[in-house]
Structure formats: C-alpha cells, structure tokens
Amino acid sequence: MSLEKEGYRKCMEFRRLGRSGLSVSAVSYGHWLSHDTADQEERARSCVAAALDVGITTFITADAYANTAAESVLGRALKGQRRESLEISTKVFWPTGPGGPNDKGLGRKHVMESARASLRRLGTDYLDVYQAHRFDRTVPLEETMLAFADLVRQGHVLYVGVSEWTAEQITRGAALARELRVPLVSNEAQYSALWRVIEAEVVPACEREGIGQLAWSPLAQGVLTGKYRPGRPPPTGSRGADPGGAGGFIQPFLRQDVLARVRRLRPLADEAGLSLGRLALAWVLHNPSVASAITGASRPEQVRENAEAAGVRLDADLLGRIDQVLDGVAETNPALTTSP
C-alpha cells in the first residue's frame, strides 16, 4: 500500500512528540525481533505493509537489533514509500558488528559512524529521531550531546532522544541540549499498566523539559493480551516459553499473582467492548505524556488489532477499576529505570 496514493487512514490518531513540532502515530511499529532468515523477513514485510495500511507512519528500530539486520529489513520493507510521510527512528549504544572496542557506547566515534551506517541500512538520507539507547557512564555527556548536535547540523538527524535514562540523566542531557540548541524531544521507556516505574520521576522531568514518551512493551511482552494463563505453561512458541533472548524481558510478568490479576481485567475489557490488548494499549495512551505506544507483531492481524486502540478513550471510572485490579502487582519503583 502506498501512503502517497492512498492517504492516511481515518482510524489513526496523531500526537506531537513532547513540545516539538513532530507528529507521530499514536500507535507505532517497533522493529525489534530477529529478522535473520528469509521467512522472518517475509513476515516482517507483511507486518510493515499492514502497519502502513492502517495509518501507522512511525517506525522505531535500533542498530543492535539482530546485530543491524533489523534495520536492513525495515529499510527494504519501506522502500518505495514517500519518505516525507514516515517518521523513522533508530537508536545507538549497544554493541554492533564484531564487537570491537569502539563498536559500542556513546563515544563520538561510535555515534557518528553508527548514524551513517543506520542511514545506509534504512535506505534514507536522514533520521527523524536518533536516540541514545541507554546512558553511557564511561563517556562524558558533553561528548555525546555534541556528536548528536553535529548530526543535526549536518542534516542527518532532525530530532534526538534518549531511552531508559533516569530523571537526573534526562535533566542533565536537556540542559546540554539547550546550550547546544539541539531538539531533544523523546524518551523511549518501558511503560504499561504493569510497569509504571517512569511515573514518579521520569515523566515529571520529561514534562519540565518538553520531552514526550515513546512507550515500549505497552502490552508487557504480551502478558496484557491474556495469552498467558495462571496455572498453565506458556503457549508453545510464545516468548514466555523461551527464557533466553527477548524472552528474558517477560519473566517478571509471568508470576502467578500477576497472571491472576490480568485475568480479572477481562470482564472490564468486555464491558468496554475491547480486547484485553486494546484495553492495555488504551490505558498507556490515556497518559498525556505518551506520544506513541510502540507495538511489535509477528502477524499482520496483530498490527491491525493494535492500531484499533488509537483514539479509544477510557473513562475515569474504568481507569480507576483497572488500577484497583492491578494494585500490588504493578511495578512502580523508580529505581528500576534501566541504566547500565
């Protein structure tokens, strides 16, 4: 499907990213899972096509995903689309390539070289948002922010952002961004009804600095879809059945008490006329600091269902009842904000 020919589908909602002038689709497509086989690439292409078809224009990836292969797959899947109609974001920090001493982190050499390599793999002249995938304690923050500033001035990057930084790190980065006149506009953070660690400190810091949230894992690695049942083993082939790799992120949500509480959300979803997954996405999107909920998928129908959460409004009573159900199992400790 061509956005240029078909236009934007009416079901999608668009939001400004922080206080910037950049609009992003409220539901975005996250390109995280491995794509190192032909079969996986074909599924990825189908999901990207479905995303475009339902009006998703924001695509988020990282150079470290599948050791750069994910960026290449996404670039091929988006080839032929009108570039101005897309918002493409990638990230830098984790090791890539053969793992040499300068193949990781936020030093100037790695940031500059990684940006150029990401542009080649994605098949684009510029990145809408370039994000620091984690905070790098081994490199002066001034060095990192100056590298980002140079990429902006060179026209390779329009906006910059961070991912999983603490409130204090974000505040320091924002001060340097102002000094360098760099548009620091996003924080990509894990956020869901079960993982609320950014609410106490990170979100207020970002609101002060005009930074919007790009929420990853809004479905808590699929647990909030109800696919995992208390007292039963994870479904065969699911992420929960694989404790290694990406499956490691789901383990905190597979406790029996968590699964039992998620099961109690189903009547609330039924009452609202929503699937559990759409209820969970709508819960994330009710937070005005969230510009976009990043969703992944292995099948096109999952992309279409996720997109239906855009524009859904949950009333205060329902939100309160969701909070009551999850009270005691939703994680809120701000110290758990990820940063090496």
Q: Are strands 290-295 and 212-216 parallel, antiparallel or unpaired?
A: parallel
Compare 318 and 241 and report the one with higher pLDDT. Answer: 318
Predicted confidence band of residue 4 (pLDDT cuts 50, 70, 90):
very low
Catalytic residue among 8, 29, 65, 191: 65
What's the whole-number mean pLDDT along residues 235-256?
74
The mean pLDDT of the chain is 92
- CA–CA gap between residue 180 and residue 9 (Å, rounded): 38
Q: What burial class does residue 321 get, using C-beta atoms within 10 Å of its C-beta: 0-12 exposed, 13-18 middle, 19+ buried?
A: middle
Best CA proximity match to 129, nearest among 193, 60, 80, 198: 60
DSSP for residue 333: -
| pLDDT at residue number 38 | 66
Concerning whether 65 is annotated as a catalytic residue, the answer is yes
Is the separation of the CB atoms in 295 and 32 below 8 Å?
A: no
* Residues shown for the chain: 340
- CA–CA gap between residue 271 and residue 64 (Å, rounded): 41
Residue 53 in tokens = 């078809």
- CA–CA gap between residue 49 and residue 239 (Å, rounded): 23
Q: Quick one: what percent of the chain has pLDDT higher than 70?
A: 91
Q: Of 130-134, 298-302, 327-331, where does mean pLDDT reach its minimum?
A: 298-302
Q: Which amino acid is at 223?
A: V
Q: Quick one: what percent of the chain has pLDDT higher than 90?
A: 84
DSSP for residue 233: P
| pLDDT at residue number 2 | 46
| pLDDT at residue number 126 | 98
Predicted confidence band of residue 276 (pLDDT cuts 50, 70, 90):
very high
CB atoms within 10 A of CB 290: 20
pLDDT tens-digit readout, 63-114: 999 999 999 999 999 999 999 999 999 999 999 999 899 999 999 999 999 9
pLDDT at 5 over 50: no
Q: pTM higher than 0.85 for the full model?
A: yes
| pLDDT at residue number 7 | 47
Is the separation of the CB atoms in 298 and 34 below 8 Å?
A: no
What's the whole-number mean pLDDT along residues 32-52?
82
| pLDDT at residue number 250 | 87
| pLDDT at residue number 340 | 63
CATH code of the domain made up of 3-336 = 3.20.20.100
- CA–CA gap between residue 45 and residue 38 (Å, rounded): 11
Q: Which amino acid is at 172?
A: R
Q: Of 101-105, 176-180, 199-203, 243-247, where does mean pLDDT reach its minimum?
A: 243-247
- CA–CA gap between residue 203 and residue 196 (Å, rounded): 10
Report how far apart the first and last C-alpha atoms of the chain are (Å, whole number).
Answer: 41
pLDDT at 235 over 60: yes
pLDDT tens-digit readout, 112-170: 999 999 999 999 999 999 999 999 999 999 999 999 999 999 999 999 999 999 999 99
Predicted confidence band of residue 309 (pLDDT cuts 50, 70, 90):
very high
Q: Which amino acid is at 15?
A: R
